[in-house]
Chains A and B, each alone.
Chain A
């Protein structure tokens, strides 16, 4: 905090969790120091900055603007570099030591994976121990800290990084939530290559000087070492590649040796990058042309490589899979294709695997795509009537969602329909649902058009129907609704036809010995057939009582 004279504090547990939970993996490698600065949305009176990460998460760090840029960047960098890091972060402004981009990182080994400092002043004696522990560390977790660093401190080397045993005297004195003993803390100096330069962007720039970059080795991006990286490029340079690149960042200039790793018998160049510290140089982050003139201006196109590779395939009696795999990988710089020029029959074939949401968006991409003939199975929104092939799942009155499933497609589509809240699905036909709500309300609903047709309320004394059905879509003049229910030993039934303002009903007495089942009545030839529980069949003529 600003008010802390020691100039440092620990992250709280919540802050750490928050930082670790951020999905910063993707943007970190493209972000620049300046961009980090731009993400600061506010600096409050305590000197804490509020930072907008990924446009949504607010996080703050202390120490004011200039520190913060650096701190945050390195936190992000370290986190990205060590996806497995689980532990605490802490950061500090070292006393009297102004921070610059030469900030140093500290590794805090988890538990006892690094040797305890025995108050030993001879740092160099520790080198071997540190290295071997680092090698043995394997999957052990590291804790990471950011600390200020004084260049006067001696250095040791740890797995490709320069590590300084660093007395962080301030930390012990911070009261409260102290997490570590200072003996456990090592400063990790990223001098091998500035970690800010150790990014995919840089590698792409480097690789681009010799060819088209196919990929940057995953292990390179995650590597603990800042000294050696690997990337794959496609190139038409027949000679063995061996050259140098100069990386510049601020006052630093870093010379990188680029060499072909293995003979290119498979047509792909592998590069090993060795980073050597050179000298102070101009500011600015630029990748300059290779120092060796022989390689300048040799950027080649992927197609040249492809041709050569394909020849290899053609000469054999059969295309071998390995060569094909390579060909696939050399395709990064294919000329851009305009997919709107695809023949309509192909677009049609493609769109036949899309429906509902996906097909709608397909149409929205461009005019040509919209001209693609419609689906073999019509989308219910476009063609609401003959969708009888659609299966609909309605989970009942507490849920408002309808799930649609078509046997030809594996996906299920869902609609949320608030209008159906509290309603029971009774019957469906021709794209219409017959719903009931409460004891008296019955209505039609079309989920595709969202049309709702209310029927007159049921008479007061009637209970809910056990079974109800309708003859045809309510938009038809022939439409009739027929419901049946049991009332003591009576079987009662009600019907309403389109145009009528109230339900009409009748009943049959128990002596008919008909006990209807809960199967919905079936309309056929103007008669209504109701299946009885014991296999009997009740036949009603609605005209008799209407």
Chain B
């Protein structure tokens, strides 16, 4: 961490799975625990840090989030909160899927939390059939199994057919 403060203007190059390179200020990159650990353990000697699991589009989103949070530091929590809620608003499910995976991989806790909350909010108050459609999940229950699960969670289905 100490080195990161000294070299605040240092820049890193991140490479996405599809080969795009992103030049990122170091303090922005440190929002990611993964990158922080890599830097601390001096894995950063390489010029380019490859992120083989994250495509360029998702990485751009992630870095946008990191940039905002790194620059705002702790001073303007209210502003950050509204940024967070705007950040995921209207995001389609495919992008959200990539984003939550990327946040998990890069260990960005704040982003992971808001993404998971967003997904949970999407699920809330919807019949499970609709949830399946939204998330493109195939129903792998047999009708009997599904009936059993429903019975197990009987309370959950009051008000839903």
Contacts and interface: CB of A to CB of B under 8 A. Distances in A.
| Dominant secondary structure at the A interface | helix
Contacts of B159: 357
| Dominant secondary structure at the B interface | helix
Nearest to B119: A350
Interface residues of A, number: 52
Interface residues of B, number: 63
Contact of B104 (A310, A324, A346): A346
B95 A362 contact: no
Nearest to B121: A353
Interface in A315-353: 316-319, 321, 323-324, 327-328, 331-332, 334-340, 342-343, 345-346, 349-353
B131 A319 contact: no
B101 A346 contact: yes
A361 B127 contact: yes
Contact of B57 (A327, A337, A357, A368): A327
A361 B123 contact: yes
Contacts of B28: 318
Contact of A365 (B25, B67, B135): B135
Given A306-B56, A350-B116, A364-B146, A334 B95 contact: yes
B128 A328 contact: no
B136 A338 contact: yes
Contacts of A528: none
A346 B94 contact: no
Given A313-B22, A321-B64, A339 B137 contact: yes
Given A310-B20, A317-B11, A342 B63 contact: no
A451 interface: no
A307 B155 contact: no
Interface string B121-138: 101111110011001111
B139 interface: yes
B64 to A, nearest CB: 4
A320 B161 CA distance: 46
Given A307-B56, A324-B61, A346 B100 contact: yes
A16 B30 CA distance: 62
B118 to A, nearest CB: 9
Nearest to A338: B136
Interface of A: 306-307, 310-311, 313-314, 316-319, 321, 323-324, 327-328, 331-332, 334-340, 342-343, 345-346, 349-354, 356-370, 379, 381, 415
